Structure 1
Amino acid sequence: MPVTADRLPGAAAPGDPAPPPGLVVVGRFDQTPGYGVSRPRGAGSWLFTWTTGGRGRLRQGGTETWAGAGDLVVLAPGVRHDYGVAPGAPRWRFWWAHCRARPSWAAWLSPYGAGDGLHVVAPTPAQVHDRIEAAFRRMLADARWTGTGAPPAAEDDREEVAVAHGTAARELALCALEEVVLLTAGAARHPSSGPGVDPRVRRAQELIAADPAAPHTVRSLAAAVALSPSRFAHLFSQQLGRSPMRALREARLHHAARLLEGTGLPVERVAVASGFASPFHFNRVFRERYGMPPGAYRAGGPMVGT
């Protein structure tokens, strides 16, 4: 769990530069004690780190986390950050990528927000680690593609850092990183679904996730799990930190985002298919959640902080 930050190992150089916004840069490092990076103004792009061995310590603003094997830690742009080999660890082996993230990733990462733009997607089951590793290898290879002939083989990854210069190379590299985001966020245990969650609350979550557009109410969800509406609403909010209707709205917005990404349905139809009776209300809450109206989201506007 993130805790208040204190100190990190000394940085390699004060104010280490970050790649310019718009570039897609991927790399693989195996660092020993003493390695650290400090950016007082943060970076202009998102930073994704996937730890494969050892232990790292990452701090963004006043929020800090320790990363072990199988942990994806994501830092949003524009916030001061530091990271390096964790104190006492013999090394830190990790993949990293700087890029302008796709808008659709916001919904996948937001449940894992720890504060100050830092996201900790963990733990992920060991069964998906090989596939995530393969996706990073493919990203490193695709970033080196010149657009002539076939992209380099993912096995030919002797280089530790690659910058995607061409449009096709950038998009291919981002596709590989998107697989990483989906695999980690989809397989990791959601913070709100960990041990200790009442089975009735978990069941209500499942009902919402199965059909977010259904006309769910506090009363209907409570009846489905054999609780009174007041007891259900109190228990749900107490255990998950948000009301049942807030959780329902988040599920509907997530569903709407998926429809905007994967279908050509008009925005009005997306609103109805996601459970929003009023297109005007849908546009307002969608903009509040994703920082842009549905039409701009579909067009692929920049991902905003979550």
Structure 2
Amino acid sequence: MLNTARAIVFAGMLAALSAPADAGTLETVKQRGTLQCGVSEGLFGFSERSAQGEWSGFDVDFCRAVAGAILSDRAKVTFVPLSAAERFGALRDGRVDLLSRNSTWTLEREAGLGLAFAGITYHDGQGFMVMRNPAVTSALELDRAKVCVEKGTTSQLNLADYFRSNSMTFEEHAFPSAAEALAAFQSGQCNVLTRDQSALFAERLKLPNPNETVILPDIISKEPLGPVTRADDFAWFTIVKWVNFALVNAEELGISSANADEVPSSNKPDVRRFAGLEGGSGKMLGLEDAWALHAVRAAGNYAEIYERNLGVESRLGIPRGLNQLWNMGGILYAPPIR
């Protein structure tokens, strides 16, 4: 009797081991034929939609790179605009496969919300924008200021920490959306607007007279921004993470959208591994071996994406600073594809 019971249990274990695993997000995206990517509702340089319905921006291009790596087609992305309040819920509920929406990586968001940040695509920090008159040159001069901030963001928490740690007081005006916070700043309801500094550069362009404002040089926090996945699909998280790394590695290796077709003829081992000619990295991810090259063809390498959307020649004009490669004075560093 005991042996029979053991045999039944053993048979059940074998059946479980041989059963097909849950298809997961990758298979869902392949079957659907499009990537559902959550982005912001409209932030210059990061994600914005034209009157013709075309999306562009730094975060948008990352979505296109992921679509390129998986589906070999940058156009196979459905962009889902999400507010700060709804972004993480939409990801957890499966309304989007990936969140690429200027979101700060924090412990609470990973451990508390059951999410996984797939690296850092933009090293940012919170700052302040003020009206040029009266002249203010430092955030330490903002005692008793009226500050506009978006609800439910790390900016709201950092704001309170900064004023408390510097023994200053302030009057908080918190709004459900970034657009409402900007409108309140513009109308004079508050005399300071606080957000990630990159977002301040973008919001400034929406004002009728951008030159009447100043973005202070003070950075009061670390804001590592990056793509987010659900924590219950490690295989999908790994793919998104390595697309991020591939874009950085491509810049370091000199691989760009302009020369991608010439890469397969290279005799350099690291370039050949990147192109999928050696190493078989695609099989490990469940993708074609040329997945990384497809990602670059879809959106360009990291430098191309940055300069096109945020760099000094773009409307925002933000120097790369910390977002420069590690061997060029920045802290951008990616593990090798091998």
One fold, TM greater than 0.5?
no
The structure number with the bigger radius of gyration is 2
Q: Higher relative contact order at CA 8 Å, sep ≥6: structure 1 or structure 2? A: 2
Instruction: Report the TM-score when normalising by structure 1.
Output: 0.34
